[in-house]
Structure 1
């Protein structure tokens, strides 16, 4: 009851982010077009690219998602609406500022900007890669690279194929940072947005850690860290001794 299709819910709750981000930026802009601010345009492109992958590409490639309670997409839509609007307005403010404040010309600020850009790209690649590992497990939970575990008792050899297909399976993912943590995709996403916040801070002297990029990173940590800890505990309960004993929840060797 009150559950909605998982794929549809995911797309609906993520699509407002890129749309409202660009809309709020455009409506808050004044003066020259964003092409006169290449550093701002790069950050616009990175934010939009992340959410296009998240809202469109990823769900279209995913075989299925579990049904979601209607409150989940509603809360996500509210959050994405607020975050995207703040982000777009923030970058419009930077674009409306004098050009020397929005182009990192001095060496220290330039180094900070490009370090943030590189961090974002590395985090995005890692995020997509580890999501791809999970995607392969969903498509083929019996692959040699995964350890599958049925949610019910093991089936006899004579069981029908339809019965086997009806039994949902969970698998232990391996590869990449899964060697160290249960949620490398979360860790990679945080690294993305840390780089985004660092690059954004190089473009303005206003706000410090109280700007939308830093506030977004803090919100992601607050929401996703408890989820990773609970998920890690679920993995250990589900697989017991078969789950890698040295694998942590989210931070290698720490937590």
Structure 2
């Protein structure tokens, strides 16, 4: 099983590099970057529910059937399990059910890519959490890395959740196009939701202190930062009055 874990880490790394290279050339053709008459798509809500689902079941099955030590999972492991499942309960179920743009579509190729990535990532992170020696000791709950990581993750989640609410409210009146978001971290960046997501997973990487957590945090940056830059350019092209002081995804930097 250790071989499968290392292979999953390698696959995630390769997917991250390929995603970074592709997105730097052209933003993924979904959402605002879809082209007119694009084929090979499916409804966006169903697509989201499908490609996020492995993060639930792959993590849960690995955690309970493959990863637990003989003595059973420690309180630290159970906390991390609960945090992961809670995040994806929101991200993989609640959020897509709250989506207002039901007419939107999503490329099937991207759904397949997302499904494979999430399958590998859910397995790798659950295996890492279940086998990390430092996570078997309850003392880890008082370790500075756990405390700092938890604080970072909490901050990132709040930023991401607030950004989601702001974006969803832009279509609260039935409007189906795009508007300039305001408030929250949108004061400083065009993609506050991506900023929050990146920060959250760096918090996870710090608090879990595993190779899988680090690889996922790096993948999140490779996946979301180039797309955020593309969003930023799109906003500036689409809206002449777009706030000039905003950055793309990292306040005051990028």
- Per the TM superposition, whether the score is higher than 0.5 is yes
Query: What is the Cα deviation at residue 141 of structure 1?
Result: 6.9
**1:246 equivalent in structure 2:** 245
Larger relative contact order (Cα-Cα within 8 Å, sequence gap ≥ 6)? 2
Return closer, same or farther for 1:32/1:6 CA change in 2, 3 Å cut-off: same
Q: Is the 8 A contact 1:4 1:68 kept in 2?
A: yes
Check the 8 A contact 2:69/2:131 in 1, yes or no: no
Q: Which has the larger radius of gyration?
A: 1
CA distance in 1, matches of 2:105, 2:121: 25
Q: Which residue of 2 aligns with 1:102?
A: 136
Aligned to 1:145: none
Q: Normalising to structure 1: TM-score of the pair?
A: 0.79
Describe the shift of the 1:212–1:140 C-alpha distance in structure 2 as closer, same or farther (beyond 3 A). Answer: same
CA apart distance, 1:119: 1.5
Find the aligned partners of 1:23 and 1:252 in 2 and give their Cα distance: 38
Partner of 2:144: 111
Q: Does 1:53 align with 2:90?
A: yes
**Matches of 1:59 and 1:238, distance apart in 2:** 26
The residue that corresponds to 1:13 in the other structure is: 51
Taking only aligned residues, the RMSD between alpha carbons, in angstroms, comes to 1.8
Moved more, 116-125 or 219-228: 116-125
Structure 1 unaligned segments of length 5 or more: list them.
143-167, 202-206
Mapped contact 2:51–2:112 kept (Cα < 8 A)? yes
8 Å CA contact 1:184–1:250 kept in 2: the answer is: yes
Q: Give CA deviations for 1:130-161 in whole Å, capped at 9, x if unaligned.
A: 1000011122377xxxxxxxxxxxxxxxxxxx
How far is 1:33 from its partner? 2.7
Pair 1:64 & 2:101 matched = yes
SS of 1:245 mapped into structure 2: coil
- Residue equivalent to 1:92: 130
1:1-255 to structure 2, matched below 5 A, reads 1-28=39-66, 29-34=68-73, 37-65=74-102, 66-94=104-132, 97=133, 102-103=136-137, 105=139, 110-140=143-173, 168-201=176-209, 211-240=211-240, 242-255=241-254
TM-superposed deviation, 1:76: 0.2
Deviation for aligned residue 1:113: 0.8
- How many correspondences in the alignment? 214
Secondary structure at the counterpart of residue 222 of structure 2? helix
d(CA) in 2 for partners of 1:185 and 1:129?
8
Q: Compared with structure 1, are the counterparts of its residues 219 and 185 closer, same or farther at alpha carbon in structure 2 (3 Å cutoff)?
A: same
Give the direction of change, closer, same or farther, for the CA distance of 1:40–1:179 in structure 2 (3 Å limit): same
Contact 2:76–2:140 (CA under 8 A) maintained in structure 1: no
Provide the secondary structure at the position in 1 that maps to 2:179.
strand
Q: 1:104 to 1:115 in 2, by over 3 A?
A: farther
Q: Which runs of 5+ in 2 are unaligned?
A: 1-38
In the TM superposition, structure 1's runs of 4+ consecutive aligned residues that sit over 4 Å from their partners are none
